Structure 1
Amino acid sequence: MRVAILGVGGVGQVSACEIVKSKYLQKLVLADISIGPAEELAAELRRETDVEIQVKRVDARDVSSVQSILTDIDVLLHIGLPENNFEVMKACLNTKTHYIDTASSGPQWLRKQLAWTDKFKAAGILGIMGLGCDPGFSNIAARYAVDQLDEVDEILIRDGDNSVVDYDGFCSFFSPQTAIQECLAKPNFWTADKGEQYLPTPFANKEEFEFPEPIGWLDCYNVEHEEATTLGETIGRAKGCKYVDFKYALHPDFVNTLKVLSYLGLDSDEEIEVKGVKVAPRDVVVTTMPKPADLAGKIHGYSSVGALVKGKKNNKRKEVYVYTIANHDEVYYKTEFQATIWQTGIPPVVAVDMIAEGLLTTTGCIPPELIDPLPFLERLKARGMTWDVIEKTAPLRQIS
């Protein structure tokens, strides 16, 4: 199997370090518009493996640039900016290369990506949209939970972190661009009668949610996310699901900072002219923030992502919560990465495992929940990303 990773930031580095452990790997291409970090990583990996490793400068905004590295590649992991997904997908179509990304630029863009399914089927290739931790693991966890029930009422995706960080300024544990964009967008949710809808303002429907110990109770908010776009239709409706949403646990300081950025217009991605120079305000903010990979070793606490599915089994109320949890310090000790980007970089490698083993043979464009969950979750655990299940049951109450 010959694999290319486009985008060698923190998450891309995690995926690269993990996939070189695979016996099926014959060749690995590390591609980025800035090749310095990729060269350093390649030098480290060559000391650990005999697999051929190449480093290529690629501009993900340019189809021909991406296409230039795909002539003999079987699978491309696009772990760069979601705004370049379509250019990269087109390059994969032209070269008949399987495509996996970890996020979209928003629900409307995810729907457009999935609409390319006939093109991918005609090319005989697979495209998986949003296969990181969340989206990604969260979708597959939801599918596993739904499969345990006869009827489904709600699918709730929850992401929480109780960590403190050795940094005094504004920071994000994952892509700052993505964090600002999705947290300040109008949150989406899904209902069976009206489909996907949007709340009028960000940071809506605050609730306390109990994450697995030692995290415990955290304040969560509705946030725009891919899971609410697809889960209701793909796996929920057939079992009677009425509601799907996604909520983040966000620290009050993080929320207040984002509100100030929005009030000042500093969250905008539209360019303005400042002293004769055109610049997008959001780019300025992101430039002042540390890269998530640079926070490794500075974050102390636990990160958890899970899917809580409520419904019925054998005419009894039942809740199934499928989750993963990781300790930032332990992950750093073992891998030298922080837990959030590590949790994001492992799932796409597991999909490559399944393709290599002949367990993922479908073609077209799919969200992660259409992957068979059990073999995926088994291989995820084998890669060191553990997960667990909490089940709660109660007799069905009849109200007369």
Structure 2
Amino acid sequence: MALKKILVLGVGAQGSAAARRLDEDPGVAEIVCADYDKKAVDNLVNDLKKAKGTQVDAHSKDSIVAAAQGVDLILNALPLECTKNVLDAALEVKANYQDYAATTALHEDWVESIRIQYNEYGPKFEAIGRTAIVGTGSAPGLICAATRDAMRYLDTCDTIYNIVWEGVEAKRFQPFWWSPVTALHDMSEEAYAFIDGKLVRTPAFDLPIKRQYDYMDEEITFVEHCHDEPIHYSFNAEKFFKGAKNAYFKYAGAGVDFSKPLYRAGLLSHNTETIKGVEIAPFDVVLAHVPPAPKFKEEIKEIIDEGLVSDSGCMVIEAYGKKDGKDVLVETHVNAPGLVESYEKSGITAEMYLTGQGGYLFTKLFVNDKFDQTGLISSDMLTFEQVDAYFEYAAELDITLDTKVKEL
């Protein structure tokens, strides 16, 4: 197995977490850390053994190409608007490609943009004998691998729920632990659900379901949220999800509680309006007042030392279907460290632990030559052997699955 050279493009909360793990991986020879923020690059590279840094303007494909010379894999941890440039750069330098979430950079319609990734970029990567895998953070990513794992317990699947509760809340104002612009974009959109075999739009914060799992002190209400998973599952239902006809992403937590009243008041609108002679989009005003996700060890420690309101959460897959002619529920819980434990283990937040390191686990599949697919796949299209390898790696980070099959 040849040692790999990897370009980590974007050194925010998630890219930096992945880079730190790659620095410790014996299969990695060199890491190129790249971002427009040279100070952030330098701060990260100074902590790593195998890394060198460079400044990149990701709005220029040529700038990315220059940084990507000789790399085996480009790990794209940039804002979604840059995805087209990164995909095109990967093709030009004949590198493998990985990102964290779907984008509208290829088409203004999100579903069509994903379709273009599969149908247009897939054949291009196949033609150069390379693999592109998209949606590889925690959700999408880790949760998709866990959903694939649930399929091994079913003969046929009818309905999939991906359920996430962001239960980490600081005493200070910190509604999001990942990119606020991405979070607020997701909060401001109608959601997608796969219902009766069709992908449909659903109202944001609507179609509530209530759950109280054993480790919850109270019942939690989960609502619709604009996310990648139902879209990918709709494309891959027959081949990878036992013919599923329904798939939902349900969300709860401090970010939802913060965003819902803003959405209802029209304050997440992207449409400009004139207020006291000033033309402005309400979304931009809200975004300007939301703090960035903490990514440096000292600021994370400061938040913990100030105190937490709660340090909990859940990531659950409920897959309903049939096994041996009986109606069953496959209920899978993802166990992972909370904020305090993530900091104690790795000096990072729980979000970075799951998303940045969840992404790293897909990178580790590349590093260990576990991908025999060429073309473009999403994280829900792993083989069961790849799923097993993924969770074998995850267990080393104390990320595990607890699965129960219940007759209904």
Q: TM-score, normalised by structure 1?
A: 0.88
**AA aligned opposite 1:342:** Y
Q: 1: distance between equivalents of 2:258 and 2:289? A: 15
Equivalent of 2:139 in 134, 145, 152: 134
Residue by residue over 1:73-122, the C-alpha shift from the partner in whole angstroms, topping out at 9 and shown as x without a partner, is 00111011011111100000101111110012344432222221011111
Q: 2: distance between equivalents of 1:170 and 1:333? A: 20
Tell me, yes or no, if the aligned pair for 1:29 and 1:54 is still in contact at 8 Å: yes
- Percent sequence identity is 23
Tell me, yes or no, if the aligned pair for 2:334 and 2:402 is still in contact at 8 Å: yes
Q: 2: distance between equivalents of 1:216 and 1:77? A: 39
Question: Which residue of structure 2 lines up, in the alignment, with residue 384 of structure 1?
Answer: 398
Q: 2: distance between equivalents of 1:278 and 1:16? A: 41
The verdict on how the C-alpha distance between 1:209 and 1:123 changes in structure 2, with shifts beyond 3 A counting, is: same
Q: 1: distance between equivalents of 2:5 and 2:226? A: 34
Question: Which residue of structure 2 lines up, in the alignment, with residue 26 of structure 1?
Answer: 29
- Decide which moves more: 309-318 or 235-244: 235-244
Question: Which residue of structure 1 lines up, in the alignment, with residue 40 of structure 2?
Answer: 37
Residue by residue over 1:221-276, the C-alpha shift from the partner in whole angstroms, topping out at 9 and shown as x without a partner, is 1111111001133145763322111010144741444325x614x541x6789999
Residue by residue over 1:46-97, the C-alpha shift from the partner in whole angstroms, topping out at 9 and shown as x without a partner, is 3xxxx2x111111111110111111110011101101111110000010111
Tell me, yes or no, if the aligned pair for 1:180 and 1:267 is still in contact at 8 Å: no
Question: Which residue of structure 2 lines up, in the alignment, with residue 113 of structure 1?
Answer: 117
Residue by residue over 1:12-47, the C-alpha shift from the partner in whole angstroms, topping out at 9 and shown as x without a partner, is 11101111111011100111010212211111123x
Structure 2 counterparts to residues 177-188 of structure 1, below 5 A: 177-188=181-192
Question: Which residue of structure 2 lines up, in the alignment, with residue 348 of structure 1?
Answer: 359
Residue by residue over 1:287-328, the C-alpha shift from the partner in whole angstroms, topping out at 9 and shown as x without a partner, is 322221257343541232232111111122221122323321
Q: 2: distance between equivalents of 1:277 and 1:34? A: 30
Residue by residue over 1:107-147, the C-alpha shift from the partner in whole angstroms, topping out at 9 and shown as x without a partner, is 44322222210111112111111100000111111111012
* Secondary structure of the corresponding residue to residue 157 of structure 2: strand
* Secondary structure of the corresponding residue to residue 20 of structure 1: helix
The verdict on how the C-alpha distance between 1:385 and 1:87 changes in structure 2, with shifts beyond 3 A counting, is: same
* Secondary structure of the corresponding residue to residue 17 of structure 1: helix
Q: Give 1:370 shift.
A: 1.2
Q: 2: distance between equivalents of 1:67 and 1:185? A: 33
Equivalent of 1:241 in 231, 240, 244: 244
Equivalent of 1:338 in 349, 363, 366: 349
1:213 aligns with 2:215: yes
**AA aligned opposite 2:159:** E
The verdict on how the C-alpha distance between 1:156 and 1:330 changes in structure 2, with shifts beyond 3 A counting, is: same
Question: Which residue of structure 2 lines up, in the alignment, with residue 306 of structure 1?
Answer: 316
| Structure 1 unmatched runs, 5+ | 395-400
Tell me, yes or no, if the aligned pair for 1:107 and 1:225 is still in contact at 8 Å: no
Structure 2 counterparts to residues 1-400 of structure 1, below 5 A: 1-46=4-49, 51=50, 53-105=51-103, 106-115=110-119, 116-167=121-172, 169=173, 171-193=175-197, 195-199=198-202, 201-211=203-213, 213-214=215-216, 217-236=219-238, 239-251=242-254, 253-259=257-263, 263-264=266-267, 266-268=268-270, 281-293=282-294, 296-297=300-301, 298=303, 299=308, 300-325=310-335, 326-372=337-383, 373-394=387-408
Q: 2: distance between equivalents of 1:57 and 1:380? A: 31
The verdict on how the C-alpha distance between 1:145 and 1:71 changes in structure 2, with shifts beyond 3 A counting, is: same
Tell me, yes or no, if the aligned pair for 1:107 and 1:226 is still in contact at 8 Å: no
* Secondary structure of the corresponding residue to residue 322 of structure 2: strand
Tell me, yes or no, if the aligned pair for 1:34 and 1:57 is still in contact at 8 Å: yes
Question: Which residue of structure 2 lines up, in the alignment, with residue 397 of structure 1?
Answer: none
* Secondary structure of the corresponding residue to residue 376 of structure 2: strand
Q: Give 1:375 shift.
A: 1.4
**AA aligned opposite 2:131:** L
**AA aligned opposite 1:187:** A
Q: Give 1:170 shift.
A: 6.0
Q: 1: distance between equivalents of 2:60 and 2:218? A: 45
**AA aligned opposite 2:77:** I
The verdict on how the C-alpha distance between 1:272 and 1:64 changes in structure 2, with shifts beyond 3 A counting, is: farther
The verdict on how the C-alpha distance between 1:42 and 1:233 changes in structure 2, with shifts beyond 3 A counting, is: same
| Structure 2 unmatched runs, 5+ | 104-109
Q: Give 1:283 shift.
A: 4.1
**AA aligned opposite 1:109:** S
Tell me, yes or no, if the aligned pair for 1:160 and 1:211 is still in contact at 8 Å: no
The verdict on how the C-alpha distance between 1:171 and 1:216 changes in structure 2, with shifts beyond 3 A counting, is: same
Q: 1: distance between equivalents of 2:96 and 2:212? A: 38
Q: 2: distance between equivalents of 1:282 and 1:21? A: 40
Q: 2: distance between equivalents of 1:124 and 1:278? A: 49
**AA aligned opposite 2:382:** I
The verdict on how the C-alpha distance between 1:215 and 1:160 changes in structure 2, with shifts beyond 3 A counting, is: farther
The verdict on how the C-alpha distance between 1:328 and 1:360 changes in structure 2, with shifts beyond 3 A counting, is: same
Q: TM-score, normalised by structure 2?
A: 0.87
**AA aligned opposite 2:34:** A
